[in-house]
Amino acid sequence: MIGIYGIGGIGKTTLAHAVYNFIVDRFEGSCFLADVRENSIKHRLEHLQESILFNILGKKNIKLRDSHKGIPILIKKLYCKKVLLILDDVDKLEQLKKLPGDYDLFISGSAIIITTRDRHILTAHGVEKIYEVPKFSHNEALELLQEHASKKGKTYQCYVEVWKCATFYADDLPLALNVIGSYLLGKSAAEWEVAVDRYEKVPNEDIMNILRVSFNSLNPSKSKFSLTFHVSSSERSWHM
């Protein structure tokens, strides 16, 4: 069981997707349960339990009316299965207890990966391998913005200064840089300057929703597992 935590927009889901795609063929069944925080409010936890059963077993006719009663059904249906389960954007301990974020349901060789903004949820659930996704350096952020903001990722000297301002405004967060770069793709340097100036005075709602997240200042736990793969514009070695 592996936990990945960090501020909103830092790339936790991108990292989890990359790991999922890299190792999914090794398992009997798999499920990437996205946006747990949002979907547990919209659809309730029993609906998410149904999604896990459908993705792993392929059965559509399983209906759960109560998340408490769904727990023994999950145990019965999934026990002795070698599975890969991703629980993305968890924000409550209850979600891990009911979805299920626990090795006890599965045989050895299964893998559960949890992403969250709150490290405390992971420690409270007994997750031992915890990794904090670090912020991009300013140069990495500039490179990422360049990929989203110019065709074929080319560097144009007339844009460099305004791109630097944009990365500063976005606090070097990958998701915020994606929003800015995609919105201003193909715009002139003058249009970039106007847009960035407007962002600073009247914050763009999409970007501010990304940036309006508290920083988690705790250090990541150390562990032995490492995997190298590409995330956005940079090749990094992640230790989990």
Nearest Cα to Cα of residue 19 among 112, 103, 98? 112
Domain 2-133 is classified in which CATH homologous superfamily?
A: P-loop containing nucleotide triphosphate hydrolases (3.40.50.300)
pTM of the model: 0.72
CA–CA separation, 94 vs 103, rounded Å? Answer: 16
Residue 103 Cα distances to 31, 126, 134, 210, angstroms:
15, 11, 27, 32
Q: What pLDDT, on a 0 to 100 scale, did the predictor assign at position 88?
A: 95
pLDDT of residue 155: 64
- What residue spans define the domains of the chain? 2-133, 138-211
Q: What are the mean pLDDT values of the chain's consecutive 10-residue runs (240 residues total)? A: 88 92 93 92 88 85 81 81 92 87 70 93 91 86 81 69 83 81 81 80 64 36 33 38
> Cα–chain-centroid distance for residue 183?
22
Closest CA to 20 of 116, 113, 89: 113
3-state SS track over 171-207: CCCHHHHHHHHHHCCCCCHHHHHHHHHHHHHCCCHHH
